[in-house]
Amino acid sequence: MWTKQPQSEAPSYSPSPVPPAPVASTPQSANYAARPSAPSARNVACLGETIEVKGKISGEEDLQVDGKVEGPISLQGQRLTVGRTGQLNSEVNAREVVVYGKVHGNLRASDRVEIKKDGSVTGDVITARISIEDGAFFKGRIEIERGKQNSSSVERESEPVTAGAAAD
């Protein structure tokens, strides 16, 4: 009897702690799973092949254009991808610009510009880094902007000298 009672109590007692354990671990694992996916998954807006836009485009998410756009595009801190069928007649300002299609207008990218092998850019490019693949078309002027970190580090180097001179 003594053996039967703990067995009957043990199954009734054991299942009750088991459900709270998965419930407690589920939110933790859900939070853990949400954290890695958030940085790697970016919101990307898409304009399809048949879409034509005339006017200003601005936003705070990445954009892929496969249609036609006439007008300025401003995506501060974001990535603009011009697809193979994309045609832009635009002044572009973004963090990163990747061109597979055609762009007529100036590109300003704080990080980098990539012109892929079938891509075409007619206009000036201002960026920190640029990549133009073999077979790509580019007509315009390129200006490489030095990163703000370089200029601030030069200022930092000169500040201690000034501070040292002031202390004497």
Q: What is the pLDDT of residues 22-61, one digit of tens each?
A: 444 444 444 444 444 334 456 889 999 999 999 999 999 9
Q: What is the pLDDT of residues 100-112, one digit of tens each?
A: 999 999 999 999 9
Domain around 52 = 44-144
Rounded Cα distance, 56 and 69, in Å: 9
Residue 104 lies in a domain: yes
CB-CB contact of 68 with 87 (8 Å): yes
Residue 34 lies in a domain: yes
Residues 35 and 92 in one domain: no
Give how many domains the chain has, as a whole number. Answer: 2
Residues 22 and 52 in one domain: no
Rounded Cα distance, 86 and 94, in Å: 17
pTM over 0.75: no
